[in-house]
Amino acid sequence: MNAMADVSLNRLRNIPLLAGFTDDELRLFSEVGTIRNYEPGELVLHQGRSSQNLWIVLEGECEVVRHGENGDGKEVILATLAPHDHFGEMSFFHAAPHSAAVRAKTQLKLIRISRNAYNELIADGAMMAYKLATNTVEGLADRLRRMDDWVTRLLAEKSTDHREREWNQFRQSIFGNWSL
């Protein structure tokens, strides 16, 4: 792991996850963040394993890949991430195994912030930690909103009894005891 000394403040300012950071907060971020490089095909995150790191793509592309649960080896590419995109936030904020793998598609340069470093920032009262959390929640809310739109379109296209039963089971697993 390398320090972020070669990453300029101007470059960090262009990353949406760091929106609203002051120059001092960007400097602090560069002190706690580290750079990791990956070769094409190399795994950054392993589905089913646990680690609490938040990652930002600085250069290159990576794929978010989910392997089938029935052991057939089938994989689905959920997303391709490019510079300034981020990932790992679900396990970063909620200690649980990764729901998908992330694999380098090209030469990949990432910024990594560990949960331990983040916890130290919170303990020190660093406003940057709260801004990072707020920006992450906004990104997750946007993804959830897009997922809601997609599910609505999917259900409206061809409503069948089977599809509605699947949706009701899925909805119950997500919302549990929520009152909507």
Report whether pLDDT(171) > 70.
no
What residues make up the domain containing 119? 2-148
Q: Is residue 62 part of a domain?
A: yes
Q: Is residue 155 part of a domain?
A: no
Are 109 and 35 in contact by the 8 Å Cβ rule? The answer is yes
Which tokens in the block code for residue 56? 């930002």
Q: Is residue 81 part of a domain?
A: yes
Whole-number Å distance between alpha carbons of 118 and 114:
6
Per-residue pLDDT of 6-27, as tens digits, reads 788 889 999 999 999 999 999 9
Q: How many domains does the chain have?
A: 1
Q: Is residue 162 part of a domain?
A: no
Are 58 and 107 in contact by the 8 Å Cβ rule? The answer is no
Q: What is the pLDDT, as a whole number, of residue 179?
A: 45
Q: Is residue 107 part of a domain?
A: yes
